[in-house]
A and B are shown apart, each in its own frame.
Chain A
């Protein structure tokens, strides 16, 4: 991973957009609540609220990764003000439709909301994250960490470790 990509991590991930035990009733409720937060902190435009839900309906983002399912909601770069990746651990698993289907659902334990622009620089980072979803030990750490900062530290270590190998 180049220096530029290493700098990407602290720019995209932040404790202010990392949530443990996020309380929401379902995915719609989740999108409403997270949009309120993102708007208040200046990360998205108002158009994000509808765009993210619309996109999820048409092209769902739940991933049947083993053993823990995740979801990676994202939408048009035009609705993003400042690029970010929000990490959300819902209090109870949230049902998302599985990517590539419109029938099957997954029970997402972790959500990575990708507020990205069209840059190519984020691709290696996303690839490492995808590998991480299949890493049971790492996923268990992410599900158990008790503070936002510690969770981000664990993530950061993983990303840096992977990029060197």
Chain B
């Protein structure tokens, strides 16, 4: 199954909340994916085998996978747009 990772500074609270929201939204659309919240410090390890990275902190560098804006899933502002990006990344 394709993997989505969500990273925030501590791996608690925000990343967990965004991960569970994204999982719920994908489930509603019938899209299967594994969504995991990780600590930003372990990002480099996890990014290797994921299809898309949802960032809650400002991306520090270029990544080999598509990067989405996780804050949209917290505030609801621009959420549909970001969700579409996640879905496209999972399909490709």
**Which A residues lie at the B interface, using CB under 8 A?**
55, 58-59, 61, 63-66, 72, 74-77, 99-102, 114, 116-118, 120, 122-124, 126-127, 130-131, 133-134
Contacts and interface: CB of A to CB of B under 8 A. Distances in A.
Nearest to B76: A134
Contact of A134 (B17, B40, B75): B75
Interface residues of B, number: 23
Given A66-B77, A100-B71, A77 B56 contact: no
Nearest to A125: B17
B61 to A, nearest CB: 15
Interface of B: 8-14, 16-17, 20-21, 40, 55-58, 69-71, 74-77
A72 B14 CA distance: 9
A49 to B, nearest CB: 16
Contacts of B10: 55, 59, 74-77
